[in-house]
């Protein structure tokens, strides 16, 4: 039985409700009047239910699909402006006891080089990341209680925050590790993590069990209820996602939105971010064997409908996506991207490319962070290295209420420009620097509040003089 605020996975992600929703969406896919009324509701920026969103996803009328895209662009602009937050993944260890059939770290893969970073290795990786200009990381590690216990993750977080190389600093560490206990989530919270990220992979229980035949991750309920335990452990910024292509995209799309609704209904705060990875090839994994892999067109539609269904939730894509694909979805709703990523363990401190075979997936976008920053600037976006909110205690429902009232924009815009100024002073190539200076000059004039503009201008000067880490 469907129960939105139940603590049981099979009640808040109710299989029958998803099937009913898909049937309803199919039956209404030609109902232009209904679709227009859903779009009118979406225009209020208060979000849509999973049923309404599913109807939009089914719509194939070219005029209405164009309307969906137009609205997604408008909502993106309203909440996120032209800012794109930058981050990089940091792989700590690829030891894993699980058997996920789509991931080369699965326990039976004997061809992959297994690696785990020591604290000294982490220091080298973090210095390399700081020297690129990164301020925000997503930690990644396989599940292995012997090689990667929680104590190792906690020690690594401490090491990362402690490293101050030249003007560099990692100011926010998001963590993507296996589902764990409330107690361990509490310890992660106390270690000062930003967002706890865990992908559901697929919400379809039967397929989930086939895709995860052995290991702790094979427990569907334990995995699906992880965000509830994270919230109970005090983490109020959580990031959800599915790996599109493992199962039919329609099913997982509805499951994803039901998960977001469940968190909002139960804890008063929806997910901080939604990630939209797609299945791709890697060592021992051939993406073409996944019959549910989705086209670029479907992918763009998914991004657009998520954008208008959960306007307050940041959306993330990785370097799995090509430059072309990234460019399309940035306009439609994505607000965070990784840049200059290495998906192998220890990949930043070494110069080797293509990556040796300890990588989790093949990267499609191989450009350096500087190239990505320049590319974003040329497209009219402001690359932002901002990490201000969690450091100012703006997390969970406090963060969401600022987003919902639109007040957060008063912080995001100047913070984006100040952190871009830091980037151009410390790391940018001459060409990127020129583009960034132009962008900062133009965008400063757009800050509506004169007091904030004045303070931001003063801070820009202080950054040029060598001072760092200003924030609103």
Residue 308 pairs with which residues in a beta bridge? none
CB 239 within 8 A of CB 174: yes
Whichever of 69 and 80 has its CB closer to ligand SF4, that residue is: 80
Distance CA 338, CA 365 (A): 10
DSSP state, residue 139: E
Task: State the DSSP string of 403-427.
Answer: HHTTTTHHHHHHHHHHHHHHHHHHT
Mark the segment that binds ligand SF4 (CB under 6 A) among 43-51, 102-110, 113-121, 373-381. 102-110
**Under 8 Å between Cβ of 277 and 243:** yes
Closest to ligand SF4 by CB, 175 vs 411, is 411
Are 107 and 363 in contact by the 8 Å Cβ rule? The answer is no
Cβ distance to ligand SF4 smaller for residue 142 or 233: 142
* Smaller CB separation from ligand SF4, 26 or 181: 181
Could you tell me the smallest distance in angstroms from the CB atom of residue 144 to ligand SF4? 8
How far is Cα 93 from Cα 115, in angstroms, rounded to an integer? 6
Among 53, 86, 103, 153, binds ligand SF4 (CB under 6 A): 103
Q: 3-state class of 297 per DSSP?
A: helix
Nearer to ligand SF4, 62 or 393 (CB): 393
Angle at 279 between CA 263 and CA 245, to 5 degrees: 70
> Which string of x and - marks every residue 393-422 that binds ligand SF4 (by CB under 6 A)?
---------------x--xx--x-------
Cβ nearer to ligand SF4, comparing 178 with 435: 178
Q: Cβ of residue 415: shortest distance to ligand SF4, in angstroms?
A: 5
Range in contact with ligand SF4 (rule: CB under 6 A) among 32-40, 118-126, 232-240, 387-395? 387-395
Q: Which two tokens stand for residue 231?
A: 């919230």
For the segment 175-204, give every residue that binds ligand SF4 (CB under 6 A).
178
> Hunting for tokens 């199919």 — which residue is that?
26
Residue 172 phi/psi, 5° resolution? -145, 125
Cβ-based neighbours of 471, under 8 Å, separated by 6 or more: 386, 388, 391, 392, 411, 415, 418
**Residues near ligand SF4 (CB under 6 A), total:** 20
Q: Does 106 bind ligand SF4 (CB under 6 A)?
A: yes
Largest CA distance in the chain: 62
Under DSSP, the state recorded for 244 is: B
Applying the rule CB under 6 A, the residues between 128 and 147 that interact with ligand SF4 are 142-143
Q: Residue 219: which residues within 8 A CB-CB, separation 6 or more?
A: none
- Residue 412 CB, nearest distance to ligand SF4 (Å)? 3
User: Considering only residues 82-101, where is the footprint of ligand SF4 by CB under 6 A?
Assistant: 85, 96, 98, 100
Give the nearer residue to ligand SF4 in terms of CB position, either 55 or 103: 103
Task: Tell me the window of 246-254, 282-290, 384-392, 453-461 that interacts with ligand SF4 (CB under 6 A).
Answer: 384-392
Residues of this chain, 342-381, that bind ligand SF4 according to CB under 6 A: none
44 near 52, Cβ under 8 Å?
no
Q: CB 134 → ligand SF4: shortest distance, Å?
A: 15
**Binding residues for ligand SF4, per CB under 6 A?**
85, 96, 98, 100, 103, 105-106, 142-143, 178, 217, 384, 386-389, 408, 411-412, 415
């Amino acid at each position: 039985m469907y129960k939105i605020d139940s603590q049981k996975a099979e009640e808040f992600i109710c299989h029958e409700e998803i099937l009913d929703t898909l049937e309803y969406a199919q039956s209404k896919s030609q109902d232009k009047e209904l679709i227009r009324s859903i779009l009118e509701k979406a225009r209020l920026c208060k979000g849509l239910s999973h049923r309404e969103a599913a109807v939009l996803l089914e719509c194939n009328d070219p005029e209405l699909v164009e309307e969906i895209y137009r609205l997604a662009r408008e909502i993106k602009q309203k909440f996120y402006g032209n800012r794109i937050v930058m981050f990089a993944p940091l792989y700590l260890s690829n030891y894993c006891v699980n058997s996920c059939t789509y991931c080369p770290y699965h326990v039976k893969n004997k061809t992959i080089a297994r690696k785990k970073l020591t604290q000294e290795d982490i220091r080298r990786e973090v210095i390399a990341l700081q020297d690129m200009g990164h301020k925000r990381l997503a930690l990644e590690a396989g599940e292995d209680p012997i090689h990667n216990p929680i104590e190792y993750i906690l020690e690594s977080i401490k090491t990362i925050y402690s490293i101050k190389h030249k003007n560099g600093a990692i100011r926010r560490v998001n963590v993507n590790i296996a589902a764990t206990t409330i107690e361990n989530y509490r310890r992660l919270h106390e270690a000062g993590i930003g967002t706890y990220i865990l992908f559901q992979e697929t919400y379809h229980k039967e397929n989930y069990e086939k895709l995860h035949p052995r290991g702790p991750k094979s427990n569907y309920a334990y995995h699906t209820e992880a965000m509830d335990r994270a919230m109970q452990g005090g983490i109020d910024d959580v990031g959800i996602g599915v790996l599109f292509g493992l199962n039919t995209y329609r099913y997982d799309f509805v499951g994803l939105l039901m998960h977001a609704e469940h968190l909002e209904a139960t804890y008063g705060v929806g997910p901080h971010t939604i990630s939209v990875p797609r299945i791709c090839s890697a060592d021992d994994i051939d993406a073409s064997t996944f019959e549910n892999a989705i086209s670029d067109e479907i992918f763009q539609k998914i991004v657009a409908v998520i954008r208008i269904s959960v306007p307050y939730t940041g959306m993330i894509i990785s370097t799995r996506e090509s430059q072309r694909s990234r460019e399309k979805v940035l306009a439609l709703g994505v607000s965070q991207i990784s840049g200059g990523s290495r998906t192998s363990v220890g990949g930043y401190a070494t110069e080797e490319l293509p990556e040796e075979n300890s990588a989790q997936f093949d990267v499609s976008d191989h450009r350096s962070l500087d190239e990505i920053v320049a590319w974003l600037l040329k497209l009219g976006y402001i690359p932002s290295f901002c990490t201000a909110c969690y450091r100012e205690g703006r997390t969970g429902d406090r963060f969401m209420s600022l987003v919902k009232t639109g007040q957060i924009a008063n912080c995001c815009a100047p913070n984006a420009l100040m952190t871009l100024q830091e980037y151009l002073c410390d790391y940018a190539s001459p060409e990127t620097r020129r583009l960034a200076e132009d962008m900062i000059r133009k965008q400063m004039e757009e800050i509506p509040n004169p007091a904030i503009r004045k303070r931001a201008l003063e801070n820009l000067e202080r950054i040029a003089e060598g001072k760092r880490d200003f924030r609103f």
